[in-house]
Structure 1
Amino acid sequence: MVTYIARRLLIFIPVLLGITIINFIIVNMAPGNPVDMYIDPNMSPEIAEAKKEALGLNDPLFVQYIKWLGTLLTGDLGYSMSSYAPVARLVGERIMPTVTLGLAALVLALLIAVPLGIISALKQNTKIDYLVTGLSFIGTSIPNFFLGLALIYIFAVNLGILPTGGMQKLGGDGGFGDRILHMILPAIVLATGIAGRKVRYVRASMLEVLKQDYLRTARSKGVHEFWVTNKHALRNALLPVITVVGLEIPILLGGAIITEQIFQWPGIGQLTLQSMMSRDYPTIMALNLIAAIAVLGANLLTDILYSAADPRIKVG
């Protein structure tokens, strides 16, 4: 296992390098640059050109990338071109809110999807199965921005029982209870799509496992149906689900961009949108690097969990 993990970590290095090259090219291909975002009618072309030169924007793309990579290898993510603050500090302030929100949404989604998927499989081709399947399609299809605005209108504007956004009450102490209240709506929005997808995975996997001979043998020995379903069948049915849970990491990060903006949640998603709007290249590159590391790390963790869940599967 240790050898496998070490080998995978070594493979990460060229993969990350390739990702950064592609991201750097794509980011710089976008129209406009940081200086263009702050040009006013009174700024002369000479001043604008001098500012580009000072920021290194006139250097060839290859030179810009080498400079950025050299700075990264020293452990420095550079400085924001919009706020002139260290990128490491900006990202550090935003990463924990996004991680907290993402984990809450993922746990909530699994708590919904696993029971519903099991019930749907056990009640195959019944009204309950059709209802659960229909709800899963709705959850998968509904856009985050639409669901977020609808929840704000219902629970914050009309009922007034939940806050409209932010991570804590203005002027409040930011206690645990206050943050939970502010997290409910954005977590529901992110969890809805995940739960919709996972219900179908759990249902399909459960249906496949329920056909296996060893379950019929367990029933013939007098094992109660509850234990047949929840002990023998569920463990094997969840193996494919473990794999696809790791694939939710990039989806969570992508969904967080819209969701965090709607609910003004001060996380990575909101910072990503702000950086894109201001053409803040160093911050965008740092966020892309973090996203790539998160995806690669999630894939490795998925393989390890898959092996732990089924001892018959060996990694190496």
Structure 2
Amino acid sequence: MTRYLLSRLGSALLVTALASIGIFALIRLVPGDPVTVLAGPDATPAARDAIRAQLGLDQPFWSQYVHWLGDLARFDLGPSYKLGGDVGSLIADGALNTVVLTLFALVLAAVGAIVTSTAAVVGDRRWLNSLLSGLNTAAVAVPTFATALVLVLVFAVRFPVLPAGGTPPAGFFAQPDIALQYLLLPGIALALPAWAALTRFLTEALRTQMRQPYVTTARALGIPRRRIVLTQALRNALPSTVTVLGLQLGTLLGGAILVEAVFAWPGLGRLVEQGISARDYPVVQVLLLLSVVVFVVTQLATDVIHAWLDPRVRLNGVS
């Protein structure tokens, strides 16, 4: 397992390094100039040059990049250009909200996928399979922001049973029942695409397991189909599903930007949107790099868990 982990760690570090270069370059290709945003449209060229020099934007690309990496190594994220305050403080303020929302959506997607997939395979009815296929298609085809808007209109406007947006006034842990009410609508909107992908994959994985010889033997011994699915097929289908679950984290992080905007959720996704609108380089590039690091670490963790559950993976990975 240690050899397998080390082999995966090298590729994870390489991906992170290449991503940091790509993010730093792409941010500077976005139309607009932070100096113009800061100085205003009526500023003189001398004033703009002074601001550019103060921010270090007059330096060559690689000099700016190396300086940025040095600051990151010292955990000095620097000040925000436009939003105000230190970048680290801005991220810390929104991190808890995004983590809670993302984990809640991930749990909803995972539990929902296990329930619907096992129900489809245990029931094995044509109408159930058609219904599940239709729901999967709709969850993938309808944009996340459209789903979020529909949920707000139905459950917060037409039938005002849940909050339309914001976070719990007393925090997430003071009153769990109130926190759940605030989490339900954004969590469902964010979880639906991940649920669809997980359900489709796990259903096919379970059906593949049900065609294996050990299932034929179990059926011949008179073991009920439900018991075979829940005690044997599901256990054998989960290792590969864990990898797909890790991939869905990227979907959740991307969807969080739209969901947080619709529900006025003060998290990192909303901070990204504000930073891009204000051409705030330090905020946007740190947040994008953070999302890459979270994605890479999650993939590394899911690969290790997959290898732990299925020894064949780690044996092939180090051969």
TM-score using structure 1 length: 0.93
Does the 8 Å CA contact 1:80/1:87 hold for their aligned counterparts?
yes
Q: What is the DSSP-based 3-state SS (H/G/I as helix, E as strand, rest coil) of the residue aligned with 1:29?
A: coil
Q: What is the DSSP-based 3-state SS (H/G/I as helix, E as strand, rest coil) of the residue aligned with 1:79?
A: coil
Decide which moves more: 205-214 or 57-66.
57-66
Match of 2:219 in 1: 219
Quote the offset at 1:8 in angstroms: 3.3
Which digits, 9 at most, give the CA deviation of each residue in 1:215-268, with x for residues without a partner? Answer: 111122233333211011111122221111110111111000000111011111
Match of 1:209 in 2: 209
Q: Distance in 2 between matches of 1:7 and 1:213?
A: 34
Match of 1:82 in 2: 82
Match of 1:44 in 2: 44
Match of 1:272 in 2: 272
Which digits, 9 at most, give the CA deviation of each residue in 1:103-159, with x for residues without a partner? Answer: 111111122222212232344461111111111111111111111111111111121
Match of 1:298 in 2: 298
Match of 2:30 in 1: 30
Match of 2:12 in 1: 12
Quote the offset at 1:101 in angstroms: 0.7
Larger RCO, structure (CA 8 Å, separation 6 or more) = 2
Q: Unpaired segments of 5 or more residues in structure 1?
A: none
Q: Unpaired segments of 5 or more residues in structure 2?
A: none
**1:111 partner letter:** V
Does the 8 Å CA contact 2:168/2:182 hold for their aligned counterparts?
yes
Q: 1:268 to 1:205 in 2, by over 3 A?
A: same
Quote the offset at 1:13 in angstroms: 3.0
User: Any residues of structure 2 matched to 1:16-165 within 5 Å, and which?
Assistant: 16-124=16-124, 126-165=126-165
Q: 1:273 to 1:174 in 2, by over 3 A?
A: farther
Q: Distance in 2 between matches of 1:106 and 1:293?
A: 18
How many residue pairs get matched?
316
Identity in percent: 33
Q: Distance in 1 between matches of 2:91 and 2:272?
A: 10
Match of 1:286 in 2: 286
Q: 1:237 to 1:4 in 2, by over 3 A?
A: closer
Quote the offset at 1:290 in angstroms: 1.0
Q: What is the DSSP-based 3-state SS (H/G/I as helix, E as strand, rest coil) of the residue aligned with 1:247?
A: helix
Does the 8 Å CA contact 1:120/1:129 hold for their aligned counterparts?
yes
Match of 1:188 in 2: 188
Q: Distance in 2 between matches of 1:310 and 1:235?
A: 11
Does the 8 Å CA contact 1:186/1:263 hold for their aligned counterparts?
yes
How much is the aligned-residue C-alpha RMSD, in angstroms? 2.1
Q: Distance in 2 between matches of 1:314 and 1:42?
A: 62
Quote the offset at 1:174 in angstroms: 6.3
**1:109 partner letter:** A
Q: Distance in 1 between matches of 2:43 and 2:103?
A: 46
Decide which moves more: 73-82 or 20-29.
73-82
Q: Distance in 1 between matches of 2:25 and 2:262?
A: 29
Q: Distance in 1 between matches of 2:157 and 2:96?
A: 28
Which digits, 9 at most, give the CA deviation of each residue in 1:25-57, with x for residues without a partner? Answer: 110111212222234354323222211221111
Does the 8 Å CA contact 1:120/1:133 hold for their aligned counterparts?
no
Q: What is the DSSP-based 3-state SS (H/G/I as helix, E as strand, rest coil) of the residue aligned with 2:116?
A: helix
Does the 8 Å CA contact 1:168/1:174 hold for their aligned counterparts?
no
Q: Distance in 2 between matches of 1:270 and 1:102?
A: 13
Q: Distance in 2 between matches of 1:160 and 1:169?
A: 18
TM-score using structure 2 length: 0.92
